[in-house]
Structure 1
Amino acid sequence: MAEHRFEDFNGLVIFRRNYKEKDMLVKILTDRFGKKMFYLRGANSPRFRMAAAILPFTKAEYGGDIRDDGLSFLNNVKSASQFQAISNDLFLNAYATYILNLIDVAFPDSQPLGFWYGRIEQALTLIDEGFDAAMITHIIEIQLLQVFGVQPHLESCVVCGRTDLAFDYSESYGGLLCQRHWHLDPNRLHANSRAIYYLRLFSVIDLFKIQSVTVKPETEAALKAIVDQIYQNSVGLVLKSKQFIDKMFTFDSAMPKLKKVAPEIDRSSKDD
């Protein structure tokens, strides 16, 4: 018989779907128990008492019956709030959905996430507060590579360890090659130097210390190309939510604008 216990926990709604006629399954990213699927009887009824707490892009303090195996159950909600900007904007919605989808794929159900719960909550908070959704998403993508078993060497040249020369990314070498060793990989990405800078920066940046920096559209496009290639070739992952973002990006790239994100690590950084 599966073990179960009544617990209070914080959570972020990942997704929900109808189940039978009036019931619903809601997947929640919890701060203590990893991802759990909850069965809510009568959730499709007009007067369901926890309706606001199971909306997409909601964070709440829940109380429930946590099962080690199978479905868990929600019993009560002590507080709930929704990421309003994300909920009301198609573009922000898409990026937030992709972040949650990435976490859903990266971690097995019921595996505690440790610091990743707070990191994801902070990422959604920043997007909701107006930070550039694409750049926040790239930070999550880059830092999640380790969880996916891909650990690109981004601190220095993988061959000689130098940090003072121009870099490019080599998939064959699993990280950065300095200018002296570019000849070792003719198929290196030939990437934009500013994009490489942000790839390195975003691998270590603290989402809780973000302030402001400007990134030109061409740099964002170059960084996106690097991250996309790593995910396609090294992780082997292309989610439907990512495909939607790619379509949006193609659409949006025709509209020049400056992107805003904030790394405290480099207060003076500007994409000049």
Structure 2
Amino acid sequence: MKTIDSWGLVLYNRPFREEDKLVKIMTEKAGKRMFFVKHASRSKVKSVIQPLILAEFMLKIADEGLSYIDDYREVKVFQNINEDIFKLAYATYLVSLADAAISDQVYDPSLFSFLVKTLELMEEGLDYEVLTLIFEVQILDRFGVQLNFHECCFCHRVGLPFDFSHKFSGLLCPQHYHEDERRSHLDPNVPYLLDRFQSIQFEDIKTISLKPDMKIKLRHFIDQIYEDYVGLHLKSKKFIDDMDKWAHVMDKGKAGSLENSD
């Protein structure tokens, strides 16, 4: 067993035996691992083993089996996310997606940094739907999916009103639409934005603002990509898919409260 200091993001915890807990943490230096916390309710680390807690941990890392948390130093809490059911739902999905994207103990500091930075931007108030779309597009390669949203897969021309072909797993320019009679018939802005999303830098994310109808088009297409190429079905994603119903109920409740206050 080796001792390291590393930033880590708590993915989830679950009960183990009567008083203990297993805590899944994505660490910056040792990958994603399961940690054992004995007598969790009385442990000195009980306040930092909740989901979406980011902390600098002192860890004992085992080559096989469970690892252990010795202590912690600095702690960062995503307060705004935790106070908003919609932000929390999307953040939970991002965490679940990152968890599914790599195997345990795989060293992937770039994914760790990308996940943490995305959550930080969400905490700052950036559009959580757009952040989620960008995150989904950029980690496709972690699932072995590499799609080119930049050029026609036949003539390699760029900057045209492209459509996507599942048959050829790439874009078609107008000159080659006929190659796939079952092409996606996308709004040309969808592949244009996906091309931007694949390489966008964090400093540029703050400049992106999308209308609701465009976010819906992007969401439907990315869902189709994940269904066809990844085949991943997360409970946290299903919750997001059902959130339109939740939003409708909550909006009606707010409206009723305002009427009663009058």
Q: Identify the residue that residue 261 of structure 1 maps to in structure 2.
A: none
| Paired residue type of 2:38 | R
Matched residue, 1:259: none
Residue of structure 2 equivalent to 1:140: 135
SS in 2 for 1:27: strand
Contact 1:63/1:75, CA 8 A, preserved across alignment: yes
Structure 1 residues 75-84 or 186-195, which shifts more? 186-195
Indicate the structure with greater helix content: 2
Name the residue aligned to 1:183: 178
The DSSP-based 3-state class of the residue aligned with 2:109 is coil
For 2:199, the equivalent position in structure 1 comes to: 204
Q: 1:221 matched to which residue of 2?
A: 216
**Residue in 1 aligned with 2:54?**
59
Per-residue deviation at 1:212?
2.2
AA aligned opposite 1:22: E
Note the C-alpha offset of 1:196.
2.1
Taking the aligned partners of 1:253 and 1:192, their CA distance within structure 2 comes to: 27
1:32 aligns with 2:29: yes
Output the amino acid matched with 1:59: L
SS in 2 for 1:146: helix
Take 1:141 and 1:249, find their aligned partners in 2: how far apart are those partners?
20
Counterpart position of 2:3: 6
Unaligned residue ranges in structure 1 (runs of 5+): 256-272
Q: Could you tell me which residue of structure 2 aligns to residue 231 of structure 1?
A: 226
On the 8 A contact 1:24/1:44 being kept in 2, the answer is no
- Following superposition, the deviation at residue 114 of structure 1 comes to 2.9
Letter in 2 for 1:39: F
CA distance in 2 between counterparts of 1:212 and 1:254 reads 32
Deviation at 1:208, TM superposition (A): 4.6
1:247 corresponds to 2:223: no
Cα distance, 1:251 vs structure 2: 5.5
* Other-structure match for 1:22: 19
How many aligned residue pairs are there?
250
Following the alignment from structure 1 to structure 2, what is the Cα–Cα distance between the partners of residues 120 and 208?
15
Q: TM-score, normalised by structure 2?
A: 0.91
Root-mean-square deviation (Å): 1.7
| Identity value in percent | 38
Conserved in 1, the CA contact under 8 Å of 2:126 and 2:206? no
SS in 2 for 1:16: strand
CA contact (8 A) 2:150 2:192 kept: no
Distance 1:12 1:170 in 2: 37
Distance (Å, rounded) in 1 between the aligned partners of 2:215 and 2:244: 10
CA distance in 2, matches of 1:13, 1:114: 15
The unaligned stretches of length 5 or more in structure 2 are 251-262
SS in 2 for 1:44: helix
- Alpha-carbon shift at residue 147 of structure 1 (Å): 1.1
Return the alpha-carbon distance in structure 2 between the equivalents of residues 252 and 6 of structure 1: 46
**In 2, distance between residues paired with 1:37 and 1:238?**
22
Worse-superposed segment, 241-250 or 22-31: 241-250
CA distance in 2, matches of 1:153, 1:210: 20
Give matches, 1:116-127, under 5 Å. Answer: 116-127=111-122
CA shift in 2, pair 1:186/1:228, >3 Å: same
Equivalent residues of 1:57, 1:86 under 8 A apart: no
* Alpha-carbon distance in 2 for matches of 1:215, 1:84: 25
2:45 paired with 1:50: yes
Structure 2 SS opposite 1:214? coil
- Provide the C-alpha distance between the structure 2 equivalents of 1:162 and 1:87, rounded to a whole number of angstroms: 45
